[in-house]
Amino acid sequence: MPADVIDYRLIGDDLQAVIITLDPGEAAVAEAGSMMYMEDDIQMATTLDATGQGGSLWGKLLQGGKRLLTGDSFFVTMFANNGRQRRDVAFASPYPGKILPVDLKDWGGTIIAQKDSFLCGARGLNVSIAFTKRIGAGFFGGEGFILQKIDGDGLAFLHASGTLHYVDLKPGQTLRVDTGCIVAMQPSVDYDIRMVPGIKTALFGGEGLFFAHLSGPGRVILQTLPFSRLADRIIAASRVGMGGRREEGSILGGLGGLLDGDN
């Protein structure tokens, strides 16, 4: 079943949302909890089958289990226009960053994405799991052994942190990337994990012990600020600030708070 042909527009800059316009009879699927608003005649229903093709109960349960493994919810929510006029439904990103529209026809029908990156898309898409080709990539890749595989011929919307950067790798061309900075790539890109050379660099370089080694051909989409990195900085700052404020940019840091009577 071909995916529905939907119209959309993005709003916002760093806190984006996508507004999808549905013709009568069209529908969009989205991750649970991502809906921002919907107009009259849009009917919301929870389902196990994001493709709208039906099938056996066991097959639907299997699809739900695959979504759980990729970090998504067991159920997906379908928003169908049951009226006689075009209606809007909007979905918002769960954290600061960008929403990336992906026309799967331009990607050969399939895209491999980091887990938990699928936001919404046209009815008819299939979101499943994609095992990395090497076990080392699963254990040390930062995003886990399982990535998302999105199939179909319609529009899918991914969300990422920071600014997006596209790299088109030629056959045999390689790229070394921080594991958390990968958003998506074509299935033709070979993905592996390499250890940072040199024990001092690995232990004290501040970039972690491993990086992703990508080999072309194919397109890769990167993000400038992985949400996990932002969360780590927030947690670290909150620990420092417990019991008193932190002097930003001060060499004294917490000691400065003691001297000025804040602690």
How many domains in the chain? 2
Ranking 52-61, 99-108, 165-174, 215-224 by mean pLDDT, the lowest is: 52-61
The percent of residues in the chain predicted with pLDDT above 90, rounded, is 38
Q: Do 31 and 153 reside in the same domain of the chain?
A: yes
Residue 199: inside a domain: no
Domain assignment present for residue 11? The answer is yes
Is there a single domain that holds both residue 239 and residue 127? Answer: no
Element (H, E) at 58: helix 57-69
State whether 249 and 146 are in the same domain: no
68: Cβ contacts below 8 Å, ≥ 6 apart: 74
- The mean pLDDT value of the chain amounts to 77
pLDDT 10s digits, 123-172: 988 888 776 555 454 554 444 456 888 999 999 999 998 889 999 999 99
Specify if 209 maps to a domain.
no
Rounded CA gap, 80 and 3, in Å? 13
More confident of the two residues 188 and 206? 188
Give every strand in the sheet of 190-195, ordered side by side: 174-177, 210-215, 190-195
According to DSSP, the residues that pair with 42 across neighbouring strands are: 81
What CA–CA distance (Å, rounded) separates 214 from 261?
52
Residues 6+ apart with CB under 8 A from 207: 178, 196
Query: Within a domain: residue 171?
Result: no
The answer as to whether 178 is a domain residue is no
213 belongs to a structural domain: no
- Kindly state whether residues 46 and 145 are assigned to the same domain: yes
pTM of the model: 0.75
Domain holding 92, by residue range, is: 7-160
Tell me, what's the pLDDT at 180?
82
What CATH number does residue 143 fall under? 3.60.160.10
